[in-house]
Homo-oligomer: A and B are copies of this chain.
Amino acid sequence: MGEARRPYRREPSERRRDDLIAAALAVMAEAGPGAMTVRTIAERAGISAGLIRHHFRSKEDLIRAAFAAMMDRMTETTRQVAEHHPGNPQQAIAALVSSSLRPPVMEPERIGQWAGFLNLVRQDPVMRDLHEAAYLKYRDMLQAHIQQLPGKEDPRLARHLAIACNGVIDGLWLEGGTLPHSFAPGEVERIGLSAVSSLLGIDLLAGFERE
């Protein structure tokens, strides 16, 4: 009985790295940081466990790359959403709030993924820098849109408002994603639009039903 070795295909390193990053993010989202072992991630990526350390210097290295990819994707998505409304800061902000408080952004798996990395951020300086840079980038985009609103040109005022808006978006995202069945469908999104409207003194709910 010859014990057959598993057949395989050779792939370029970049492809394997991408697959491993995707697998790591999926495992984090579905099963949390406790399941982030090299064997589980490798199985998810469809390769053997030892291969991870052929494409990444260590497990920690893979996790950092996965975290960076997640943060990149989030800010890029946000940028694209707001980009659809050039020269219209009000609609850009409304689109940004709505996309943040709807699936697939506001979902239990996303919260789990984000929370799972948050622990590691606290103890790894590299990840802390990645996290801070992504947060500030997001907030700066928000502030830039707010500054385009009439009467909100003062950067200090716009900064405060951006922090507050970012806070309410994050907080609602967290509540809605953690306790999905405590809210009616679309309720969190409506509350978010209403709250940001109050903060900025505008009306983001005007064309809401039509979207």
Collect the chain B residues with CB atoms within 8 Å of residue A115's CB: 115, 118-119
Instruction: Report if A164-B195 is in contact (Cβ < 8 Å); known contacts: A32-B123, A175-B135, A179-B132.
Output: yes
Instruction: Report if A191-B136 is in contact (Cβ < 8 Å); known contacts: A32-B122, A119-B32, A166-B171.
Output: no
Complex Cα spacing A132 to B181, Å: 10
Q: In chain A, residues 66-116, which have Cβ atoms closer than 8 Å to a Cβ of chain B?
A: 108, 111-112, 115-116
Cβ of A47 within 8 Å of any chain B Cβ, yes or no, is no
Cβ of A59 within 8 Å of any chain B Cβ, yes or no, is no
The 8 Å CB contact of A198, one of B131, B166, B172, B198, is B198
Contact indicator B171/A167 (Cβ below 8 Å): yes
Interface string of A185-211 (1 = CB under 8 A from B): 000100110110011000000000000
Q: In chain A, residues 112-130, which have Cβ atoms closer than 8 Å to a Cβ of chain B?
A: 112, 115-116, 118-123
A93 to chain B, nearest CB (A): 15
Collect the chain B residues with CB atoms within 8 Å of residue A179's CB: 132, 135
Instruction: Report if A175-B164 is in contact (Cβ < 8 Å); known contacts: A33-B34, A182-B136, A198-B198.
Output: no
Collect the chain B residues with CB atoms within 8 Å of residue A120's CB: 32
Cβ of A51 within 8 Å of any chain B Cβ, yes or no, is no
Complex Cα spacing A171 to B169, Å: 7
The 8 Å CB contact of A34, one of B119, B168, B169, B175, is B119
Collect the chain B residues with CB atoms within 8 Å of residue A164's CB: 168, 172, 191-192, 194-195, 198
Cβ of A170 within 8 Å of any chain B Cβ, yes or no, is yes
A173 to chain B, nearest CB (A): 8
Cβ of A160 within 8 Å of any chain B Cβ, yes or no, is yes
Complex Cα spacing A166 to B178, Å: 14
Interface string of A25-58 (1 = CB under 8 A from B): 0000001111000000000000000000000000
List, sorted by A's number, 11 A–B pairs whose CB atoms are closer than 8 Å.
A31-B123, A33-B34, A112-B119, A115-B118, A121-B178, A164-B198, A167-B168, A167-B191, A167-B195, A170-B170, A170-B171
Knowing that A116-B119, A160-B194, A163-B175 are A-B contacts, what are 20 other residue pairs whose CB atoms are under 8 Å apart, sorted by A's residue number?
A31-B123, A32-B119, A32-B123, A33-B119, A108-B122, A111-B118, A115-B118, A163-B188, A164-B198, A166-B175, A167-B168, A167-B174, A168-B168, A170-B170, A170-B171, A170-B175, A171-B172, A171-B174, A174-B174, A198-B198
